[in-house]
Structure 1
Amino acid sequence: MTEMVFGTAPVKAGEPVLPRWWRTIDKWALSAILILFGVGMLLGLAASVPLAEKNNLEPFYYVKRQAFFGVTALIVMLGLSMLSPVKVRRIGVIGFFFAFAALLALPVFGTDFGKGAVRWFSLGFASFQPSEFLKPGFVIIAAWFIAAAHEVAGPPGRLYSFILAGIIVTLLAMQPDFGQASLVLFSWMVMYFIGGAPIFLLACVAGITAAGGFFAYNTSDHFARRINGFLSSEIDPRTQIGYATNAIQEGGFFGVGVGEGTVKWSLPDAHTDFIIAVAAEEYGLLLVMAIIALYALIVTRSLLRLMRERDPFTRLAGAGLACTFGVQALINMGVAVRLLPAKGMTLPFVSYGGSSVIASGITLGFLLALTRSRPQGEISDILARRAQQ
């Protein structure tokens, strides 16, 4: 519809797919993603060896699995990044329905692996966490709904997206998985705000969320235990937060040295939820700041490129994906330094895990596809032409 109104710039006739992809992709964001993958492999070499030894496996068992999952995620990411926004929407919607069906089946066929929350399907050789794949699919379908509401005589897409977000948040809270539920709600609020929602409505949603948190605190031992641990003035040194806090303090500015860290022998989740503690102890604040800079580069570059987009769906979906990716990293690192209560959330594209790494590859593949340069002119040019008329 936008091309019918504003027209399009000419395209190079017969240009092959790969040269066109390389010319239009955000090379800065792509480079940052590849560096993040390398950092994840580096930290995996340090964090996963103690776990392999505890499980009587070869020292680099988990490193090899991480490499396999990571390469698979990169292949998926690069393949998805070549898609047009229309194909991103189609694949995202289809993927959402598969992930949503898997989420509904969790109470019957899922397992908690002794962690108190039924979030996974055990496949024997691996595990599968539907909520990781649900997030990018939800962002795509919610952006489609909200964008449709901008069309003349369009459907009440904002209402549909709100209902869908409420259903998913409820299902995730029942597992319980309040971390993923908060991410889904956050991504919806970002897109709803960009889509023109009034602040009053978003404030009402925030109030409902706070009331839901109060209810969960009084009814869920799992939730209350984590909140109480976070609010406690003292840190139990025998807990994961205690080990992580001590490791970060020991690391200082330059770290204790490669392979010299001890927290990886004490933390059960050193290779997943608390991998940033391993980075801080062995490599110090320098590596942690570099990791933060890489995430910030991916998010800010994506948002800046999306500001030039004219298509509502592309802007909404891209912003939702970028903010979800960045906030998940922020939450993971915030938990490690005790700025946030423990949520059991991985560091995207760095932590070990099949579902997490591949789902991050899907998220970034969609994001790279939506932020590619397209021959449509920039929205600033359109506004300037309108001002001159």
Structure 2
Amino acid sequence: MKELVNNLKGDRVIWSFVALLALFSFMPVFSASSNLAYIGQGTGNTISYLLKHLAHIFIGLIIIYWVHKVPFHYYRGISLFALPVVWILLGYTLIKGTVIAGANASRWIQVPFIRISFQTSTLATIVLLIFVARYLSKKREEEISFQSSLRDLWLPVFVTLALILPANFSTTALIFSMILMLTFVGKYPIKYLSFIIGAGVAALLLFILLSKAFPDSHLFSRVSTWQSRIENFTSNKPGEDDYQIEKAKIAIASGGVYGLGPGKSVQKHFLPQSSSDFIYAIIVEEWGLIGGFGILALYLLLFFRFVIAAHKANSMFGKLLVVGLGFPMIFQAMINMAVAVELLPVTGQTLPLISSGGSSIWMSCIALGIIINVTKKEEEIAEENKEKAKRDAALKKLIDKQLAEEEEEDYDQRHDVGIDNETGNYSIEDQSKNPMNAVLNK
């Protein structure tokens, strides 16, 4: 265990916060999964959901470990090849996507043979933000023209967002806002950003107008849900989401300052998404305001470490990676908590590293692994390069030894049959060993 800890490179404070959030997540997930257990099994036994979450967290920590070993500049090229793959996956999700965990949107695809549901928009978020960071760092010393940026930057961005929008407006809005923030940090001309924002709003209005023209189309099935959520949030008109909000508010009010105690939540039996979208309400109900503010403080401290990591990064690409991958994680957490207390309309955003769900946890872990890689100190990188040089030297020595053995074996064979090592011909004194003599004698 000590050796494993010593192999962890990068910002140890980020490692600590990730470990704290992951460890804490077991208690609310174990408690809040009872609703799913009653619906799926009829028993209310949440042990299987706890073990499933344990597997997700364990795999996620392995992902962080292996990703933080890969030099972050490798992801420049990976994003170029990964983006077309993401488009294919998003298109397949729109056509063949499945609905899980009571959600009413097709955002997942089933991975063959291993029976795992995967939310493609989470992967698209990471790949797209890395792609944008790559473009901005590449163009840092050049004057960016609007026409070239439309082709090289914004066309891939809008294609990706257009494939996410029909099934997940909140994720689309979050990605678009994070890209705008990233381009601002990357010193993309502000005069161009105003046009991009206008184009984005116009594209959204066009999508809504098309949904009115083709109301029966599967592509526009979520527009009515967006509209009803906004209307319910801005008015006193009762709606479908009022049930979830009311139960979440009851859970928060019941928690008080100290909470009802771990596992003693009552509203977990009534909230449809108690282990994912509304897990923060269950946390406050069981752990009180102390637990609720404690989780909020952890995310804010993690955000502070991201700011420090971005400031200390040695390259512009590293700075943009930390901003592009770290800040959305914190904003997603803020959105999840704001929805639980009715500061925002209901969305499908989970609480990173705490809510149940495999793909959301794993994609957060990929982002954290890349960020931790950026935070490596120069001496840690030098140590890794030294270890790599030792491995390469040992491998070269092994190969040279193998080649020497093969040459020696070849020399022995040539000597046995009387072959001259310089000319390759049979020597006169060893002509009796020439295999051709046996043929001629016959």
TM-score w.r.t. length of structure 2: 0.74
3-state SS of 1:127 partner = strand
In 1, the alpha carbon distance for the partners of 2:379 and 2:123 equals: 31
1:221-273 Cα shifts (integer Å, max 9, x gaps) = 12101111211236669611111111111112211222221111001100011
Cα contact 2:71–2:373 (8 A) shared by 1: yes
Shift of 1:62: 0.9
Shift of 1:92: 4.5
Superposed, 1:185-204 pairs within 5 Å as: 185-204=176-195
Selected match of 1:46 from 31, 38, 63: 31
Structure-2 change in CA distance of 1:251 and 1:231 (3 Å): same
Shift of 1:154: 8.7
Selected match of 1:293 from 291, 297, 314: 297
3-state SS of 2:378 partner = coil
| Matched residue, 2:235 | 232
Shift of 1:71: 0.5
Cα contact 1:49–1:60 (8 A) shared by 2: no
Find out whether 1:26 has 2:29 as its counterpart.
Answer: no
Selected match of 1:122 from 110, 118, 136: 110
| Matched residue, 2:316 | 312
In 2, the alpha carbon distance for the partners of 1:149 and 1:185 equals: 20
Find out whether 1:35 has 2:20 as its counterpart.
Answer: yes
Q: Which moved more, 1:116-125 or 1:137-146?
A: 116-125
Q: Which moved more, 1:101-110 or 1:130-139?
A: 101-110
Code of the aligned partner of 1:144: R
In 1, the alpha carbon distance for the partners of 2:125 and 2:10 equals: 23
Cα contact 2:280–2:340 (8 A) shared by 1: yes
3-state SS of 1:347 partner = coil
- Give structure 1 stretches of 5+ with no counterpart: 1-16, 377-389
In 1, the alpha carbon distance for the partners of 2:306 and 2:284 equals: 27
Code of the aligned partner of 1:182: A
3-state SS of 1:326 partner = helix
Cα contact 2:248–2:341 (8 A) shared by 1: yes
1:332-358 Cα shifts (integer Å, max 9, x gaps) = 111111111111111111100011111
1:62-119 Cα shifts (integer Å, max 9, x gaps) = 1111110111011001111122122233445444443332112122221234644221
Cα contact 1:116–1:222 (8 A) shared by 2: no
3-state SS of 1:340 partner = coil
Cα contact 2:144–2:188 (8 A) shared by 1: no
Selected match of 1:182 from 173, 183, 191: 173
Choose 1 or 2 for highest CA Rg: 2
Superposed, 1:1-389 pairs within 5 Å as: 22=8, 24-56=9-41, 58-113=45-100, 115-123=103-111, 125-151=115-141, 156=148, 160-174=152-166, 176-211=167-202, 219=211, 220-233=223-236, 239-374=243-378
In 2, the alpha carbon distance for the partners of 1:102 and 1:248 equals: 38
Shift of 1:366: 1.1
Structure-2 change in CA distance of 1:51 and 1:116 (3 Å): closer
Cα RMSD for the two superposed structures = 2.7
Shift of 1:150: 2.0
1:17-68 Cα shifts (integer Å, max 9, x gaps) = 979854x511111100010001111111111133213321643111111110
Shift of 1:375: 6.0
Cα contact 1:29–1:297 (8 A) shared by 2: no
- Give structure 2 stretches of 5+ with no counterpart: 212-222, 381-442
Structure-2 change in CA distance of 1:183 and 1:243 (3 Å): same
Q: Which moved more, 1:215-224 or 1:334-343?
A: 215-224
In 2, the alpha carbon distance for the partners of 1:70 and 1:54 equals: 24
Q: Which moved more, 1:44-53 or 1:229-238?
A: 229-238
3-state SS of 1:105 partner = helix
TM-score w.r.t. length of structure 1: 0.84
In 2, the alpha carbon distance for the partners of 1:93 and 1:116 equals: 32
Code of the aligned partner of 2:248: A
% same residue: 27
Code of the aligned partner of 2:323: A
Q: Which moved more, 1:367-376 or 1:282-291?
A: 367-376
Structure-2 change in CA distance of 1:235 and 1:200 (3 Å): farther
Cα contact 1:191–1:317 (8 A) shared by 2: no
In 1, the alpha carbon distance for the partners of 2:201 and 2:245 equals: 24
Higher relative contact order (CA 8 A, sep 6+): 1
3-state SS of 1:245 partner = helix
Q: Which moved more, 1:113-122 or 1:34-43?
A: 113-122
Q: Which moved more, 1:63-72 or 1:154-163?
A: 154-163
Q: Which moved more, 1:63-72 or 1:305-314?
A: 305-314
Structure-2 change in CA distance of 1:340 and 1:74 (3 Å): same
Q: Which moved more, 1:57-66 or 1:317-326?
A: 57-66
Structure-2 change in CA distance of 1:242 and 1:192 (3 Å): same
Q: Which moved more, 1:203-212 or 1:304-313?
A: 203-212
Equivalent pairs counted in the alignment come to: 358
Cα contact 2:83–2:124 (8 A) shared by 1: yes
Code of the aligned partner of 2:157: A
Cα contact 2:306–2:322 (8 A) shared by 1: yes
In 1, the alpha carbon distance for the partners of 2:238 and 2:151 equals: 43
Shift of 1:149: 1.3
